[in-house]
Amino acid sequence: MRNEIYHRKIVSWFGDSPLALFGLHRLIEYGKKSGKKAGDWYGPAVVAHILRKAVEEARHPDLRGITIYVAQDCTVYSSDVIDKQCASIASGNTDDKAVIILVPVRLGGERTNTDYLEFIKGILSLEYCVGIIGGKPKQSYYFAGFQDDSLIYMDPHYCQSFVDVSIKDFPLETFHCPSPKKMSFRKMDPSCTIGFYCRNVQDFKRASEEITKMLKISSKEKYPLFTFVNGHSRDYDFTSPTTNKEDIFSEDENKRLKRFSTEEFVLL
């Protein structure tokens, strides 16, 4: 019974209401503050940054134990991740936070390079992977797994009847997908964001080691899709952004979001 109550609480965060923490109304508002408007194309990298801001601004007691980190230019800076996980310890909390790591990447130029197929299969097989934000040209999907050379996905565009999540015991059926669909890997749009979940700092360290080993194997004859490096981003001559209090995104973040929104970056 307790699990069902908590289940409904989490589902309510994504309800069709302006008050829902991560509902479409709220996410569009964050998009507006980065120069987007309703109806615009939100690429996987832009979505990653909007989700991070939504979690940071939620200030919900049930979200105090989790944080989101978005990789910079296909690089995960380990010390930056650990700092975010340990931020609550500095304020007196004895527990480190769980972290969702979102890594925007590109799997080729105009089309997805099939050389990445086995790597994507390996990533989706990891216990730390929570899926991939992506799709095919002009359609957004969430990839949760694979079968043979096909990706298993859920389509957020499938229309459902409105559910009032403010009432007690609201129906949960339409928030789950009883029959996910499959799509050939070749049809996948090259722009995507890979997600990982780590329960604590030790979990993150194990995950980074395991993922790094996989990246080294997959990049013997080409550059890796992304990397984990020690230290902070500032140690690699990145300029620390100055946040404008009147804007939810810093000037540096707005420039990055604008660049990502074109989805024209190509990994050589």
Beta strands 129-136 and 66-70 are unpaired
Q: What is the pLDDT of residue 229?
A: 93
Q: Answer yes or no: are the C-beta atoms of 25 and 40 closer than 8 Å.
A: no
> Between helices 24-32 and 44-58, what is the axis angle to 10°?
110
Q: How confident is the model at residue 221 (pLDDT cuts 50, 70, 90)?
A: low
Q: What is the mean pLDDT of residues 19-42?
A: 86
Q: Report the alpha-carbon distance of residue 68 to residue 81 in Å, rounded.
A: 9
Q: What is the pLDDT of residue 67?
A: 94
Q: Answer yes or no: are the C-beta atoms of 12 and 18 closer than 8 Å.
A: no
Q: What share of the chain is helix, strand, coil (3-state, %, to 5)?
A: 40, 20, 40
Question: What is the per-residue pLDDT across 121-151, written as a single tens digit (0 to 9) for each?
Answer: 999 999 999 999 999 988 899 999 999 999 9
Q: Report the alpha-carbon distance of residue 96 to residue 66 in Å, rounded.
A: 9
Q: What is the mean pLDDT of residues 33-55?
A: 87
Q: What is the pLDDT of residue 245?
A: 36
Q: Answer yes or no: are the C-beta atoms of 194 and 64 closer than 8 Å.
A: no
The DSSP element (H or E) to which 76 belongs, if any, is strand 75-77
Q: pTM for this one?
A: 0.84
Q: Answer yes or no: are the C-beta atoms of 103 and 193 closer than 8 Å.
A: yes
Q: Answer yes or no: are the C-beta atoms of 257 and 104 closer than 8 Å.
A: no
Question: What is the per-residue pLDDT across 150-209, written as a single tens digit (0 to 9) for each?
Answer: 999 998 877 778 899 888 888 888 888 888 899 999 999 999 999 999 999 999 999 999
Q: What is the pLDDT of residue 49?
A: 92
Judged against a pLDDT cut of 80, whether residue 257 lies above it is answered with: no
Q: How confident is the model at residue 88 (pLDDT cuts 50, 70, 90)?
A: low
What are the C-alpha distances in Å from 193 to residues 19, 66, 70, 247? 26, 19, 10, 25
Q: Where is pLDDT greater, at 265 or 252?
A: 252
Percent of the chain's residues with pLDDT above 70: 83
